[in-house]
Structure formats: C-alpha cells, structure tokens
C-alpha cells in the first residue's frame, strides 16, 4: 500500500481524528528525541538519527577505511581540480526531513557547499535543492 492509498483509506475512516492525534504525538516525541540527539552528539561520535532512533556505529574495519580513503582521494582531486564543489568524509551529518545520516562520502556542488555554516556540526537541510549531489556508503 502506498502512502497516498493509506491516507485515502484513513480519510474515509471514522478513526481519522484519533489517528491524526496519535501521529501528531508520535511526531512531537520524535522531534524532541532528535533535538536531544543534536544536543548530545559530539564530533568524535559516529551516530545517525533514523526513524526516531539513535543508531551508534562501531568502528569500521581497515579495508573499509582504505577503500573509503581511496574513493575520497579520487573524487576530491577531481572536484578540487574542476572547482565544482566540496567532498566530505563520513563525519558530515546530513540532516534530511526526518533522518540524519553520516554517509561515508558526500559531494555537494559549489552552490550548495557555499551555503554551509562553518560552525555547524551538521549539514542540515530539509529541502531537496540542498541534498547531497552524491552520497555513498562503502561496503567491503
């Protein structure tokens, strides 16, 4: 069932007002958890906020580090040589509408990267025009 179908079904239900109230409460609790996540996260942590839950990652294997480093070097050299944007390693926290991810490598066009605030722990956007142009997780 698609979200549009679920919404249509819910609109036709006499339980619609109760469902809206429950969803509003769930979203408010999730918003508070997310704010707490922002307050508690430190630059040394590898953590993400996904669907209302904090996910803390363990250190990666050496092979993962080597592959990520090599991809990062190649992509960064190309992007810097062409002056077309910024490439960031895994510590860039990408804040989306509901979730916050730390992809292994992210690329942003110069236009998007110029909007970043130097003091922010997160690269936070809820708008499609500010999403990474490339984001990847390396699996080895």
pLDDT (0 to 100) of residue 114? 80
pTM over 0.85: no
What is the token pair recorded at 116?
């970043």
What would the pLDDT profile of 67-86 be if each residue is shown by its tens digit? 999 999 999 999 999 999 98
State the DSSP string of 69-111. Answer: HHHHHHHHHHHHHHT-EEEEETT-EEE-SS-EE--SEEEEEHH
pLDDT higher than threshold 70 for residue 131? no
The CATH number assigned to the domain with range 43-140 reads 3.90.1570.10
What is the pLDDT of the chain when averaged over all its residues?
85
């Amino acid at each position: 069932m698609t979200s549009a179908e679920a919404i249509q079904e819910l609109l036709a239900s006499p339980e619609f007002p109760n469902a809206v109230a429950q969803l509003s409460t769930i979203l408010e609790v999730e918003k508070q958890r997310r704010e707490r996540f922002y307050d508690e996260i430190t630059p040394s942590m590898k953590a993400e906020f996904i669907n209302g839950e904090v996910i803390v990652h363990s250190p990666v294997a050496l092979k993962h580090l080597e592959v990520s480093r090599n991809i990062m070097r190649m992509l960064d050299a190309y992007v810097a040589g062409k002056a077309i944007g910024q490439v960031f390693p895994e510590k860039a926290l990408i804040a989306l509408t509901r979730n916050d991810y730390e992809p292994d490598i992210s690329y942003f066009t110069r236009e998007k990267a110029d909007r970043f605030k130097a003091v922010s722990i997160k690269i936070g956007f809820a708008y499609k025009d500010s999403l990474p142009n490339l984001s990847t997780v390396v699996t080895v």
